[in-house]
């Protein structure tokens, strides 16, 4: 009986962290490589040029005002209360101006702008929604889809489905520094019931806070912008204390998840939640006028 001594390629071995999106991208890449004829040999200069990362151009500017709300977790809330009513005496943190790469990721940028410019009466806006998780020294998350009365986002029904989430080219930029704006896919909406909703849209986003890069977010989330102004506000948000479970609680949670206990996922929903309510108090687009022409010489 003959045995093959050819080693199995490492890239084909199963990996515990593979997601459905990773498998889809892998299948697309493999199918394409098998169906196309061998590529012609490229010169070293051409190969180097093709390996260079894309050069994103800022096409749009969005502002977001962040505030602290002292009353959101008070026990005397009524059913009609929401962020706009509970946080009328909030403390402003400051304004963050974001530059978006509309030429590189048109669908992602268009959807993000729609969520910033939508009418507040439809609840389809980032305005008056929570920063729901902060990972100290790394990034914070905002725009979780769910119930507006809980400070979450309800995307409009006509928001386009983001086909860029399964396009490998969309993952070319990295989370290499503080102030990177990214569409959150790896952490996006822990509740599976939300994800399986036909009206589900990818609207949750993250902003890296530094001080260092976040390479573990690369190839899992779509970088579509950068912080142009207000990095001090981002740093202030990152410094807000969060709920951190003890190591013993984490171990019990892992054990419960291993045995299929659904309560483990519910318990993790409050991990890294800020202990002081921070939210997006306003957002919109900044129109930048064209610079004046230089005077003509006689």
**pLDDT tens figures, 92-138:** 999 999 999 999 999 999 999 999 987 544 557 899 899 999 999 99
2 domain-assigned: no
117 is a domain residue? yes
Confidence of residue 161 (pLDDT cuts 50, 70, 90): confident
H/E segment holding residue 258 = helix 247-258
* Buried b / exposed e along 145-172 (16+ C-beta atoms within 10 A): bbebeebbbbbbeebeebebbeeeebbb
| CA 292, chain centre distance (Å) | 36
Does 19 map to a domain?
Answer: no
| Strand (E) or helix (H) holding 61 | strand 60-69
Nearest CA-CA partner of 124 in 155, 149, 148 = 155
Give the distance from CA 62 to its chain's centroid: 16
Specify if 260 maps to a domain.
no
Sign of the C-alpha dihedral computed for residues 12, 17, 19 and 21 taken in this order: negative
The number of domains in the chain is: 1
Distance CA 265, CA 288 (A): 44
What is the CA 72 to chain-centroid distance, rounded?
Answer: 24
Lowest mean pLDDT among 189-198, 205-214, 229-238, 242-251: 189-198
Work out the mean pLDDT of the chain and round it to a whole number: 78
Q: What percent of the chain has pLDDT over 70?
A: 67
23 in any annotated domain:
no
Answer yes or no: is 14 within a domain: no
- For position 290, what pLDDT does the model report? 57
Residue 11 pLDDT: 44
CATH number at residue 196: 2.40.100.10
Distance CA 259, CA 261 (A): 6
pLDDT of residue 72: 67
Tens-place pLDDT, residues 90-103:
899 999 999 999 99
Domain-embedded: residue 264: no
pLDDT in tens, 55-93: 688 999 999 999 998 766 655 566 556 676 777 778 999
Task: Mean pLDDT check: name the lowest of 204-208, 212-216, 293-297.
Answer: 293-297
In the prediction, which pLDDT does 151 show?
A: 84
- Paired strand residues for 62: 98, 285
Give yes or no for a cis peptide into 211 (omega within 30° of 0): yes
Instruction: Give the C-alpha separation, 223 to 38, whole Å.
Output: 31
Domain that holds residue 144: 60-244+272-285
Residue 46 lies in a domain: no
Q: Is the pLDDT of residue 177 over 90?
A: yes
| CA quadruple 161, 114, 120, 80: dihedral sign | positive
């Amino acid at each position: 009986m003959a045995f093959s001594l050819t080693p199995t390629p490492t890239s084909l071995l199963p990996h515990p962290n593979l997601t459905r999106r990773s498998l889809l991208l892998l299948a697309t890449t493999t199918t394409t490589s098998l169906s196309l004829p061998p590529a012609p040999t490229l010169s070293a200069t051409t190969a180097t040029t093709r390996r260079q990362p894309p050069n994103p151009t800022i096409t749009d500017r969005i502002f977001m005002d962040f505030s602290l709300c002292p009353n959101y977790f008070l026990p005397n809330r009524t059913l009609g209360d929401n962020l706009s009513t509970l946080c009328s005496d909030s403390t402003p943190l400051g304004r963050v101006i974001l530059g978006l790469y509309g030429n590189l990721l048109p669908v992602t940028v268009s959807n993000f702008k729609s969520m910033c410019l939508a009418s507040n009466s439809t609840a389809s806006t980032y305005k008056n929604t929570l920063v729901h998780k902060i990972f100290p020294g790394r990034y914070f998350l905002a725009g979780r889809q769910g119930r507006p009365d809980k400070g979450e986002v309800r995307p409009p029904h006509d928001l386009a489905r983001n086909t860029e989430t399964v396009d490998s080219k969309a993952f070319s930029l990295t989370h290499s520094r503080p102030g990177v704006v990214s569409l959150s896919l790896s952490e996006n909406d822990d509740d599976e019931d939300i994800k399986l909703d036909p009206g589900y849209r990818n609207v949750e986003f993250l902003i890296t806070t530094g001080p260092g890069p976040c390479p573990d977010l690369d190839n899992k989330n779509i970088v579509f912008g950068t912080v142009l102004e207000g990095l001090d506000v981002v740093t202030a948000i990152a410094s807000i204390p969060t709920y951190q479970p003890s190591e013993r609680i984490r171990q019990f949670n892992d054990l419960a998840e291993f045995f299929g206990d659904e309560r483990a996922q519910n318990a993790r929903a409050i991990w890294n939640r800020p202990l002081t309510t921070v939210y997006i108090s306003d957002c919109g687009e900044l129109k930048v006028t064209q610079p004046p022409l230089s005077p003509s010489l006689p």
